[in-house]
Amino acid sequence: MDEKNIKIVAFLCNWCSYGAADLAGVSRMQYPTDIRVIRIPCTGRLSPKFVLSAFREGADAIWVSG
Amino acid sequence: MITFKINDKEVQGEEGQYLIQVAEKYGIEIPTLCHHKALDPAGMCRICTVELFDGRRTKFVTACNYPIWEGMEIKTETEAVHQGRKLIVEMLYARCPEVPLLKKLAQQYKIETPRFKKEDDDCILCGLCVRMCERMGNSAINFTGRGINLRIDTSLGLQSDVCMACGACASVCPTGHITLEKIKKKFTKQNPFMIPSEYEMGLKGRKPVYVPYAQAVPNTPAIDRDVCMHFKTGGCGVCSDICQMDAIDYTMKDEIIELDAGAVILSPGFKPFDPSKFDNYGYANHPNVMTAMEFERILSASGPTSGHLVRMSDHKEPKKIAWFQCVGSRDMNKCDNKYCSSVCCMYALKEAVIAKEHAGDKLDCTIFYMDMRTHGKDFERYYNRAQDQGVRFVRSRVHTVEPLHDSDDLRITYVTDGGKKVDEIFDMIILSIGLEISPEVVDMAKKLGIELTDGNFAKTSTFKPVETSRKGIFVAGAFQGPKDIPQAVVDSSAAAGEAGAILAESRNTITKIPEIVPETNIIGDRPRIGVFICKCGTNIAGVVNVPEVRDYAATLPFVEYYSDNLYSCSQDTQTTMTQIIKANKLNRIVVAACTPKTHEPLFQETLINAGLNKYLFEMTNIRNHASWVHKDAPALATQKAKDLVRMAVAKVALMEPLKETELQVNQVAMVIGGGISGLSSAKTLAQQGYEVHVVEKDSVLGGQANHLYHTYKDENISVELASLIKDVKSNKNICLHLNTTLENVQGFVGNFKSELLDNHKVSKTLEHGVAIIATGARAFKPEEYLYGKDERIITSLDLDKKFLSKDASLKSIGSAVFIQCVGSREPNRPYCSRVCCTHSIDNALELKKINPEMDIFILYRDIRTYGEREYKYQQAREAGIIFIRYDLDHKPEVDIKNGKIFITVTDHVLGRPILIEADLLTLATAIVPNKDEKLANFFKVPLNEDGFFVERHAKLGPSEFATDGVFLCGLAHYPKPIDEAIAHGQAAASRAVTLLAKETVHTSGNVASVNSMACSSCGVCISICPYSAPSFATQGRFEGRAEINPVLCKGCGLCVASCRSGAIHLKGFDTNQIFAQIFAMNEAV
Amino acid sequence: MGNLLEHMGIERDRINFSWISSAEATKFVEVVKEISNKVRALGPNKKLVKDYN
């Protein structure tokens, strides 16, 4: 895995950060391509297991945002 | 179809296409400087030269204007091609060494210094401008001169009449040779202007084809016919050529549509006041004097400065900003707007606080005001906080703004409270402009035959707050009077409720019922996944390589069908998708397109039409989260899109059909509280045809309105209240429960069971579908100002009682004093009671009517006669009522000496204490909430720190609770005058009808459920759930284990994550599905 | 969570929490950039990754 190809798994709350991500798109703001979004209904849904498993699957970082 | 090869890869194109078009389709990059897809190719720059092998020999052709033919072989990157391009770049670079584009190209072709003599031109003679001008239908510019003198110019090099300064030439010029400045100076006789963006308040330009703003609904571009070149010259038509859906039709005409309507609701809104006519503020001439609306755009992240706080003249970050209040409001001298615009104090505060957030604490924000009017819910707290954060407040009306000569700063002069003249310099001045009704709306009102007030607002009465003078025509929002968002939302619900009341009979008469497609049972079937990749025109396809993603999707497990669509959301695509799902027996669908937040329901509809359960669907966002935000990295964006599709496919394979529980809504409403707001609510519901039960703990109806004399519009309250009570009593849909309290509530939206207890201790159970809380508030009983020590010291309500009983003693009063804010705006009660200023002024005027010789003093902190209540304040001053301001640190003192009442107050002008002798002292006491915690618990609705109920959303949901099926109105929400209380009651009823009228509610399928076998009865889910959805089962095999009520569950998943036994599953976002997404994330490609 | 991961040898910067309202697109982008930069500085994660051999 070279430096350019890092992967950040983003668990985004459907109502908050996912909306912000949509709006960032609408506003055509540009940001790095590293994140992979997993939409969750609420950050409360998140269990530590997901975080560990994401690392196990090769994620370079995790981002949880409500 | 023509098949040929580019770089040994087989490609296909249409007959008549040029080589460059096919190359572009396949993502093969060929450089060009003179090609534009809207224009005919000209082969000017020669950079697009490629190598062609025609079967016998190779030759060089320009890709932009070489038509394709069957069997030809093209090479775009051979050494010879590269050398040729390098030479061209070298020559152009020598000609125009300062042009950034050529500098970049030179770097790319590794040219350090050209071998040719450097010139200082900036035109590469690509001719794009000439061709574009021709396309615009003008041909104002062309090539002139010969040989080395060839250049672009107008005819004879003179400023031309033909050039319309449209700027199209500048927009295509690759080098910056043609600029708007040059058009203005050299090309045209006309004055080029920016088309101001209405949304950006003219701080930014927009195109003739435009979407008003990013979130506009419908989000469809419109053509501004007044500025579009096609409508001026008949030329251009570029948008029509480019539109792949043939959606553009220049022949469309405005249409007049006739509608049959039983009721009309007017909500035309307001126009921000235009301060250009005030030359003393210099708004028209100085860019650093701007309106608050313009400043909103500066603060906005999507605004012209991307949220960076800078001033317009020099883009410098300001250090000092001043706000001037009441520009175009409360002003009889310079404009005719005598009223208060109600919202400006609050928005100025908000802007000052946000400006400090943007620029840091050092930013000096000063608000120049007359009275600070923060009379809305939680507004006073915000005001206090702004003071704590260092926003400076100066009570002064600034007369003149004077621009400084040596900088872009502005000097202002004002007089302080103490009478001192002060000079101060600011970087920016924001004018807090008022709200006014536009002349077009006034015209419309005339046509409709409705009456207007002095301020040109629609005239309404206090007791019919949303009804205009013409029956059947209702009004909502700022056209009824200047107001903020929550009030406008209340009005609009109320207007809808009242219109619904007169139309109740015809409800559902023109409803169409969609055909129901039977659902295919797919349980146990192997997943057959269909993947649809959307191009979204060029929105996605312009960055992400859609064919590549589509072909990649084909390789994923269980994918049986894959395709791409130009626009997946268009009606015809939906129809095709339905057929494809049926024909291929697909049982799981993935759509990779835009955001599920807006489009998921649409595609779910398509699934339903194809006979699939709508939860067998997953949408992934390759537009907002990929193409739009990674436009400079197409390869990585494509990779990301593939990852997202793979993750979605992995998840959807695990989707199961989910059931939505259908639930009957009991068509009965319960209103708690028989005050004026609750009664209005009951009346509206009953008129809409629903059975209503009003529960009132007292023996009489009418609540606090029973104690009030008249409204500020001089309407008699007791007469109007009696008429409302009569209406309610005579309505057969309304059942009254007087002397009754609520003892218990069970159930949830659509199915509540409430236990009522009357004064004979008889209890009964009421089953109802919705509840409206209208429990009101009461008057504060003060302990200060010697209240209760002397019968001449009374509260505002006591004075109303004297008016009601026509108390003769009022005639003999020589001097009356009112003290405002008794119990309001105090540290322990930091809110404004909203009604007291108007009430006292009104009562003072009433006293003047009884005895014109009476001396009347009103001791106040800020006069808050918002909206057209301001007229009363003006009238009071004209009538000789004396207003004396005090502040919280220097409250008036009341003394009784020798049987006489004396009030000492420090006058804000003289700065000295003055002594007033009063025959009557009226205390304008606060409105305090009942703080009914028991009731709050029954319905699981929150109370705020002050004890008022907290609505679903402070701005957008003022009449309902976050708990479904429970609504709120009146003083239980916040202090408000009668007209607002009635409108709020009507609004709550209207919101309740939206639920009742559905008759059934569907719960979402995305809810949690318990596997009772695995449950350990620990109770964590029950304690953690914010919506009280889980509970212990009380009977059956799994008694004592948790169960979840799908009706109450909002699908947040909190319980799932907290369940230590792994017994809870969240349908649609289940643990295995999220794991599948995580596992799919890093699978080898 | 951060402590747990640190204990397992995963750098603190690899796990990030934030709260962004749906209107705060600018903040969203700032956070993405910030995290991306932090993680790029750290390089690829080696701990805990499933070993396929």
Contact B1008, B1066 (CB under 8 A): yes
**Residues B917, B783 within the same domain:** yes
- Residue A3, domain member (yes or no): no
Q: Is B464 helix (H, G, I), strand (E, B) or coil?
A: strand
DSSP state letters, B647-690: HHHHHHTT-----PPEEEPPSEEEEE--BHHHHHHHHHHHHTT-
Interface size A-C, in CB pairs within 8 Å, comes to 121
Please state, in angstroms and rounded to a whole number, the distance separating the CA atoms of residues A22 and A40.
Answer: 15
Q: How many CA atoms lie within 13 A of B301 on its CB side?
A: 17
User: What sections of B146-266 are H helices per DSSP?
Assistant: 168-172, 180-182, 230-233, 238-242
- Residue B236, domain member (yes or no): no
> Residue B944: phi, psi to the nearest 5?
-90, 180
Phi-psi region of B196 (alpha: psi -120 to 50; beta: other; left: phi over 0): beta
- Residue C49, domain member (yes or no): no
Please state, in angstroms and rounded to a whole number, the distance separating the CA atoms of residues B210 and B233.
Answer: 20
**Residues B150, B73 within the same domain:** no
Contact A25, B1049 (CB under 8 A): no
Could you report the per-residue pLDDT of B893-918, keeping only the tens digit for each? 999 999 999 999 998 777 889 999 99
Contacts of B625 in chain A (CB under 8 A): 21-22, 25, 37
Contacts of C19 in chain A (CB under 8 A): 16, 65-66
- Residue C7, domain member (yes or no): yes
Give, in order, the Cα–Cα distances in Å from A23 to each of A7, B111, B569, B927, C25: 22, 42, 19, 42, 6
The confidence score (pLDDT) of residue C4 equals 76
- Residue B753, domain member (yes or no): yes
Q: Across the interface, which of A31, A34, A55 has its CB nearest the CB of C29?
A: A31
Could you report the per-residue pLDDT of B631-653, keeping only the tens digit for each? 888 889 999 999 999 999 999 99
Task: Name the minimum distance, in Å, from the CA of A11 to any CA of chain B.
Answer: 10
- Residue A1, domain member (yes or no): no
Contacts of B307 in chain C (CB under 8 A): 26
Inter-chain contact B302–C25, Cβ cutoff 8 Å? yes
Q: In B1040-1068, which positions are buried (b, 16+ CB within 10 angstroms) versus exposed (e)?
A: ebbbbbbbbbbbbbbbbbbbebebbbbbb
- Residue C42, domain member (yes or no): no
Q: B592 and chain A: CB distance < 8 Å anywhere?
A: no
Q: B925 and chain A: CB distance < 8 Å anywhere?
A: no
- Residue B804, domain member (yes or no): yes
Chain B residues interacting with chain C (CB cutoff of 8 angstroms): 301-302, 306-307, 629
Burial of B985 by CB count in 10 Å (0-12 exposed, 13-18 middle, 19+ buried)? buried
Could you report the per-residue pLDDT of A17-61, keeping only the tens digit for each? 898 898 888 878 899 988 999 999 888 888 888 888 888 888 888
Contact B342, B867 (CB under 8 A): yes
Q: In B644-682, which positions are buried (b, 16+ CB within 10 angstroms) versus exposed (e)?
A: bbbbbbbbbbbbbbbebeebebbebbbbbbbbbbbbbbb
Is the bond preceding residue B100 a cis peptide, omega within 30 degrees?
no
pLDDT band at B1070 (very low <50, low <70, confident <90, very high): confident
Could you report the per-residue pLDDT of B711-746, keeping only the tens digit for each? 999 999 999 999 999 999 999 999 999 999 999 998
How many other C-beta atoms can be found within 10 angstroms of the C-beta atom of residue B186?
18
Nearest CA in chain A to C38: A61
- Residue B105, domain member (yes or no): no
The confidence score (pLDDT) of residue C51 equals 56
- Residue C44, domain member (yes or no): no
Please state, in angstroms and rounded to a whole number, the distance separating the CA atoms of residues B315 and B322.
Answer: 17
Range of the domain at C27: 2-34
Check: complex ipTM more than 0.85: yes
The residue among B36, B31, B67, B37 whose CA lies nearest residue B52 is: B67
Could you report the per-residue pLDDT of B530-568, keeping only the tens digit for each? 999 999 888 898 889 999 999 999 999 999 999 998 888
Which residue has 């309105």 as its token pair? B705
- Residue A2, domain member (yes or no): no
Contacts of A63 in chain C (CB under 8 A): 15-18, 31, 35
Chain C residues interacting with chain B (CB cutoff of 8 angstroms): 24-26, 29
User: What sections of B96-220 are H helices per DSSP?
Assistant: 100-108, 128-135, 168-172, 180-182
**Residues B825, B733 within the same domain:** no
Predicted model pTM: 0.83
Task: Give how many domains chain A has, as a whole number.
Answer: 1
Nearest CA in chain C to A11: C17
**Residues B949, B967 within the same domain:** yes
Could you report the per-residue pLDDT of B390-439, keeping only the tens digit for each? 999 999 999 889 999 888 999 999 998 888 899 999 999 999 999 999 99
Across B142-151, B765-774, B1017-1026, which has the greatest mean pLDDT? B765-774
Inter-chain contact C1–A48, Cβ cutoff 8 Å? yes
Strand partners for B621: B593
B508: which 2 tokens? Answer: 């559902």
- Residue C50, domain member (yes or no): no
B1033: domain CATH number is 3.30.70.20
The confidence score (pLDDT) of residue B744 equals 93
Please state, in angstroms and rounded to a whole number, the distance separating the CA atoms of residues C34 and B31.
Answer: 35
Q: Where are the beta strands (DSSP E) in B685-739?
A: 691-695, 734-737
**Residues B487, B610 within the same domain:** no
Please state, in angstroms and rounded to a whole number, the distance separating the CA atoms of residues B483 and B339.
Answer: 12
Contacts of B1025 in chain A (CB under 8 A): none
Strand partners for B1043: B1031
Taking residues B38-61, what's their average pLDDT?
91
Contacts of A23 in chain C (CB under 8 A): 22-23, 25, 28
Nearest CA in chain B to C26: B301
Region of poorest pLDDT, from B122-126, B373-377, B510-514, B750-754: B510-514
Q: C6 and chain A: CB distance < 8 Å anywhere?
A: no
Q: A26 and chain C: CB distance < 8 Å anywhere?
A: yes
Taking residues B281-308, what's their average pLDDT?
90
Task: Name the minimum distance, in Å, from the CA of A26 to any CA of chain B.
Answer: 6
**Residues B465, B401 within the same domain:** no
Q: Which amino acid is at B636?
A: L
Contacts of B1071 in chain A (CB under 8 A): 47, 49
Inter-chain contact A15–C22, Cβ cutoff 8 Å? yes
Q: Across the interface, which of A31, A46, A54 has its CB nearest the CB of B1057?
A: A46
pLDDT higher than 50, residue B1084: no
Q: At CA B728, angle to CA B727 and CA B733, rounded to 5? A: 115
- Residue C22, domain member (yes or no): yes
Enumerate residues 6+ apart whose C-beta is below 8 A from B242: B37, B38
Task: Give how many domains chain B has, as a whole number.
Answer: 8
Q: How many CA atoms lie within 13 A of B380 on its CB side?
A: 20
Inter-chain contact C15–A64, Cβ cutoff 8 Å? yes
Inter-chain contact C45–A60, Cβ cutoff 8 Å? yes
Inter-chain contact A59–B624, Cβ cutoff 8 Å? no
- Residue B593, domain member (yes or no): yes
Contacts of B1081 in chain C (CB under 8 A): none
Inter-chain contact A59–C45, Cβ cutoff 8 Å? yes
Range of the domain at B1051: 1007-1066
Inter-chain contact B621–A22, Cβ cutoff 8 Å? yes
**Residues B914, B829 within the same domain:** yes
Inter-chain contact C50–A60, Cβ cutoff 8 Å? no
Taking residues B952-971, what's their average pLDDT?
93
Q: In B733-762, which positions are buried (b, 16+ CB within 10 angstroms) versus exposed (e)?
A: bbbbbeebbbeebeebbbbbebebbeeeee
The confidence score (pLDDT) of residue A1 equals 38
- Residue B623, domain member (yes or no): yes
Task: Name the minimum distance, in Å, from the CA of C8 to any CA of chain A.
Answer: 10
Nearest CA in chain B to C27: B301
Range of the domain at A56: 8-65
- B746 DSSP 8-state letter: E
**Residues B299, B422 within the same domain:** yes
- Residue B981, domain member (yes or no): yes
Q: Is B1056 helix (H, G, I), strand (E, B) or coil?
A: helix
Q: Across the interface, which of B626, B1069, B1081 has its CB nearest the CB of A41?
A: B1069
Inter-chain contact C19–A65, Cβ cutoff 8 Å? yes
Task: Give how many domains chain C has, as a whole number.
Answer: 1
Q: Across the interface, which of C4, C14, C25 has its CB nearest the CB of A60?
A: C14
Q: C25 and chain A: CB distance < 8 Å anywhere?
A: yes
Best of B615, B1074, B1083, B1085 to mutate (most A CBs within 10 Å, chain A): B1074
Last residue of a domain, one of B140, B166, B187: B187
**Residues B373, B472 within the same domain:** no
Contacts of B629 in chain C (CB under 8 A): 29
Contacts of A3 in chain C (CB under 8 A): 40, 43-44
- Residue C41, domain member (yes or no): no
Taking residues B151-172, what's their average pLDDT?
88
**Residues B910, B996 within the same domain:** no
Task: Name the minimum distance, in Å, from the CA of C45 to any CA of chain B.
Answer: 13
Task: Name the minimum distance, in Å, from the CA of C2 to any CA of chain A.
Answer: 10
B431: which 2 tokens? Answer: 């004018």
**Residues B997, B1011 within the same domain:** no
Task: Name the minimum distance, in Å, from the CA of B878 to any CA of chain A.
Answer: 53
B383: which 2 tokens? Answer: 């005001």
B762: domain CATH number is 3.50.50.60
Contacts of C44 in chain A (CB under 8 A): 1, 3, 6, 60
Contacts of A32 in chain C (CB under 8 A): 32-33, 36
